[in-house]
Amino acid sequence: MTYLVNGRSFDKEPEPGQCLRTFLRELGHFGVKKGCDAGDCGACTVWLDGSPVHSCITPAFRAEGREVTTIEGLGSPGNLHPMQRRFRDAPGFQCGFCTAGMIMTSATFTEEQKADLPRALKGNLCRCTGYRAIEDAVKGLSAVQTAAPGKAVGTSVGAPAAEDVVTGRAEFTMDTRMEGMLHLKVLHSPHAHARIVSIDKTAALAVPGVHRVYTWEDVPRRRFTTAIHTDHLVDPDDTYILDDTVRFVGQRVAAVLADTVGAAEEGCRKLAVEYEVLPAVFDPEEAMADGAPQLHESEDPFVRDSVHNLLFEIHSHIGDVDAGFAAADVIHEGTYVSPRVQHAHLETHGSIAWMEDGRLNVRTSSQSPSIAKVKLSYLFALRPDQLRVFCKRVGGGFGGKQEVISEDLAALATLDTGRPVGYEYTREEEFTTASPRHPMKLTVKLGAKADGTLTAFQVRNVSNTGAYGNHGGETLFAGGAAVMIYRCPNKKYDAYSVYTNTVPSGALRGYGMTQPAFAVESAMDELALALHLDPFELRRRNIVRSGDPLVAMHDGPDDVMFNEDGLAKCIDLVAGALARTADQPSPGPGWLVGAGVASSLHETAPPTEHISEAWITLGDDLVYELAVGTVEFGEGTSTAHVQIAANQLGTTPARIRLVQSDTDRTGFDTGAFASAGLFVAGNAVLRAANAVRDRILEFAAMHTGVHLVMCSMDDQDVVCGDERVALAELVALARTRGIRFTAARKAYGSPRSVTSNTQGFRIAVHRVTGEIRVLYSVHAADAGVIVNPEQVRGQVDGGVAQGIGFALTENYQVDADGVMANPSLRNYRIPTYADVPRTDLLLVGSSDSAGPMRSKGMAECCINPVAPALANALRDATGIRYRELPLTPERIYSRLNESQSARTGPRR
């Protein structure tokens, strides 16, 4: 069969039933991505005879004799298609995994389609951008700027990989072919709790192409935690690579290694497993009760109370809450429920392992290759010099890749066979086996004087950590920070992280703060209603101010600093914006209109130890090589690091060559999470750049005989008094003396600063259907000194969009047996273009940060106030308080029709 792809002819026979996506990738067209394999996301979009199709649901044989165009054939670096140029200049991407599909779809739009993007883009999903930047790209709006030498910070420069992203040349984890690579697939448990009695491998090993079957008897019997932190002791070592007891539906039972993915999958189907089914428990309150099924052994040293399935518990208090409630004029108490939420990064987890020169190499989609290396070294008893772990570009993370969950099996199989091995999750495996946000049930009790002054603040948090404790304790601790936002002399926080027979929970944007923020900010609105106070005014009277201690679970000293009232400014900005837009019309009869607000504070680095090291070297080509371990997955740290280095070295981003996320070529880096990629790694880059600059200036001063204080950097020269010396001359002269202009510097996550965020919504709710429409969205943020304005806007857009999904559309449904009922993007429903409003971003100028150039990360914190602001707007519109997420039309409709108190007209 003959295929014409990007103008080149190929004679190749597809496998029976093979889709066009896998066929094109076998031909080397890696710009065709896998996000779903179900026609849901559009990441695999290509053209057939000029028309866009989802190649994952298009049989390969249907392309025979037709013209196929992939993103690589649309244009190339230096010769971009107009739509590629628009996406580069908007910029219309963050992680870039969906970008090829977005461009291939958008490049075919007529003017009529451009005028109706909700319909035209319904087949393409993005998890990062919030779609505003994509809309700008389609409409030809440009935001990318050119930075003058030494003036990069504060400029919206483009990403270093921009042209590679828009042309499909940027390599993601699985975008490579290796000779002789084997493929690994996993058999997952059908039971929520069971002991494996036996596994018969005979039929599986008889499948043509199957090489190995691994069970719990074939792997190192070493406990570990999949969670990634510098200090591994903050997470429980309660997990094995493969275990003889399964504790949730979807847990690994065995792994099959074969020549092809199909053969490995068939091998899994042929395994004969005998289980002894054990009692299961799914609700954390039930799991803590006496007599509940016990998940972990009583002698397990990493479990706080195995009899009651308690991984971790916190009991802290400041002052006397009982006295505080006794002194209150008004008391509010309510229980708020937050569900599981999946990250839904479009690139699924995956790793490729191989041996090279006697060393194990692992290429993986991780947010921390440094710590992945530490864990793999421990699991397989390898010295650090026997192992390299690295990342290419990663297709989204949001905390989901702050785990080691694909690397271990790929490494195991390669160490066993000596062959390259690839292991890639399916979309269903992402939903059923990867770690979602912790479901939490929070009871908030507030006491206040008649004037709104808080007298008592009490929170009880029950967190469902699932079958294993990765991130269970740390997110529970982080949740306590939700009470630090308000001043109150009497606070109490009781929290429980509980094992259940459900998929293990993990890290997700907001990290333990998002769920408590929903509860606390909803409760504050309910308290304001009881006090007959405006919700803005109640917050103004109680928020922490500069000079106040950030009191959460103890009143001892900490390393958090802030000396500006960023939060007060955020609240005032949002209040003003909602007031200015109060006359927006209702969509029509039958719609109820309301407005809501919520705020959050977020520390700019995690409380556990966070380390980053940066290296900078000026080469003979006069390009500065910047090596930093931080991974780029759409959070924008690569761009920010280049800007910081260029700014300090008096040059432009074009003269910074970035090397990143490779344990052979970069220093240690804890990882890109909790906004530490900017705050911690950015500080390391700043210090390394300053050190290199100082070395160059000292050498130039010595060479010219001019005092050091009279020397300064220029783009190509060093100016010493009235004399200008070319950098090229200095580099050559230094080389003759055995001197290199290079430096390495480390940074740590202390001291820390705080970011402030306030979200406001005006919404309309249909009284019959329960549908919510966002009429207006505004977000105010204190991001410190802005390194890249367009990237900050993009992170807020993406965070608001993800928060809208958390609040309104994403519904992780689990049946009575612990089985997820909707493990697909189509049925789980992350927001589409049509679901996400444009958000007005209002930035507070502050300089109270300990971050690089006094900046603060914005990728993590902006999601926290979104859900409570929507819930508060819904209460304002309907008169009904909804305390459980998501706020689906069905849930809203049932309460609206049951309640006799629902208003019949708009409030504002």
What is the residue-wise DSSP string for 791-850?
A: HHHHHHHHHHHHHHIIIII----B-TTS-BS--SHHHH----GGG---EEEEEPP-----
Q: What is the dihedral of CA 447, 448, 450, 453, to 10 degrees?
A: 180
Assess contact for 365 and 394: CB atoms under 8 A.
yes
Does the pLDDT of residue 427 top 90, yes or no?
A: yes
Does the pLDDT of residue 134 top 90, yes or no?
A: yes
Task: Please state the rounded mean pLDDT for residues 738-755.
Answer: 96
In this prediction, residue 645 carries a pLDDT of 98
Instruction: Report the C-alpha gap between 908 and 906 in whole angstroms.
Output: 6
Token pair recorded at residue 749: 């996550």
pLDDT band at 905 (very low <50, low <70, confident <90, very high): very low
Token pair recorded at residue 328: 């209150």
In this prediction, residue 547 carries a pLDDT of 85
Task: Please state the rounded mean pLDDT for residues 447-468.
Answer: 98
In this prediction, residue 300 carries a pLDDT of 63
List, as one string, the DSSP characters of 112-133.
HHHTTHHHHTTT---SSS-SHH
Does the pLDDT of residue 304 top 80, yes or no?
A: no
Cross-strand partners of 69: 47
Token pair recorded at residue 435: 């770690």
Instruction: Report the C-alpha gap between 458 and 361 in whole angstroms.
Output: 50
Burial of 621 (0-12, 13-18, 19+ CB in 10 A): exposed
Q: Do β-strands 754-766 and 624-628 pair in parallel, antiparallel, or remain unpaired?
A: unpaired
- From the list 36, 5, 6, the residue with the least C-alpha distance to 14 is 5
Token pair recorded at residue 171: 């390599």
**pLDDT tens across 798-833, in order?**
999 999 999 999 999 999 999 999 999 999 999 999
- From the list 46, 179, 73, the residue with the least C-alpha distance to 19 is 46
Does the pLDDT of residue 557 top 90, yes or no?
A: no
Instruction: Report the C-alpha gap between 820 and 770 in whole angstroms.
Output: 25
- From the list 696, 694, 560, 688, the residue with the least C-alpha distance to 629 is 688
In this prediction, residue 610 carries a pLDDT of 94
In this prediction, residue 123 carries a pLDDT of 97
Q: Is the pTM of this model over 0.85?
A: yes
In this prediction, residue 556 carries a pLDDT of 81
Token pair recorded at residue 384: 């650090």
Return the CA Rg of the chain.
Answer: 28
Element (H, E) at 10: strand 8-11
Secondary structure class of 418 (helix, strand, coil): coil
Q: What is the DSSP letter of 57?
A: G
CA 461: distance to chain centroid?
A: 23
Cross-strand partners of 842: 780
Does the pLDDT of residue 907 top 70, yes or no?
A: no
In this prediction, residue 906 carries a pLDDT of 45
Instruction: Report the C-alpha gap between 84 and 82 in whole angstroms.
Output: 5
In this prediction, residue 329 carries a pLDDT of 98
In this prediction, residue 666 carries a pLDDT of 98
Task: Please state the rounded mean pLDDT for residues 674-682.
Answer: 94
**pLDDT tens across 773-790, in order?**
999 999 999 999 999 999
Does the pLDDT of residue 901 top 70, yes or no?
A: no
Instruction: Report the C-alpha gap between 187 and 346 in whole angstroms.
Output: 23
Q: Do β-strands 772-782 and 839-843 pair in parallel, antiparallel, or remain unpaired?
A: parallel
Does the pLDDT of residue 481 top 90, yes or no?
A: no
Instruction: Report the C-alpha gap between 777 and 749 in whole angstroms.
Output: 33
- From the list 270, 241, 576, 510, the residue with the least C-alpha distance to 376 is 241
Instruction: Report the C-alpha gap between 849 and 783 in whole angstroms.
Output: 9
The single-letter code of the amino acid at 799 is G
Does the pLDDT of residue 900 top 70, yes or no?
A: no
Secondary structure class of 257 (helix, strand, coil): strand
Does the pLDDT of residue 856 top 60, yes or no?
A: yes
Does the pLDDT of residue 199 top 70, yes or no?
A: yes
**pLDDT tens across 101-127, in order?**
999 999 999 999 999 999 999 999 999
Helix axis angle, 99-106 to 82-89, nearest 10°: 130
Token pair recorded at residue 298: 């009583």
Cross-strand partners of 659: 627
Does the pLDDT of residue 257 top 80, yes or no?
A: yes
- From the list 454, 483, 473, the residue with the least C-alpha distance to 317 is 483
Share of the chain above pLDDT 70, in %: 98
Element (H, E) at 540: helix 535-542
Quickly count: other Cβ atoms within 10 Å of residue 314's Cβ: 16
Task: Please state the rounded mean pLDDT for residues 692-716.
Answer: 96
Q: Where are the beta strands (DSSP E) in 230-345?
A: 245-246, 252-258, 272-277, 310-318, 330-338
Helix residue ranges, H only, 612-749: 637-648, 676-679, 681-704, 727-736
Instruction: Report the C-alpha gap between 648 and 651 in whole angstroms.
Output: 8
Placement of tokens 């493990």 in the chain: 823
Q: Where are the beta strands (DSSP E) in 177-319?
A: 182-188, 194-200, 210-214, 245-246, 252-258, 272-277, 310-318
Cα separations (Å) of 123 from 101, 110, 430?
A: 10, 16, 20
Q: What is the DSSP letter of 505?
A: P
- In sequence order, what are the residues at sequence separation of 6 or more whose Cβ sits closer than 8 angstroms to the Cβ of residue 398? 127, 343, 345, 508, 509, 802
Element (H, E) at 342: none
Token pair recorded at residue 773: 């429409």
Q: What is the DSSP letter of 652?
A: -
* Angle, CA 319 vertex, CA 316 and CA 321 arms, to 5°: 80
Cα separations (Å) of 734 from 523, 678, 711, 756?
A: 65, 32, 17, 47
In this prediction, residue 299 carries a pLDDT of 65
Cα separations (Å) of 895 from 597, 688, 767, 887?
A: 22, 58, 10, 11
Assess contact for 506 and 436: CB atoms under 8 A.
yes
pLDDT band at 378 (very low <50, low <70, confident <90, very high): very high
Q: What is the DSSP letter of 87?
A: H
Assess contact for 888 and 906: CB atoms under 8 A.
no
Q: What is the DSSP letter of 60?
A: G
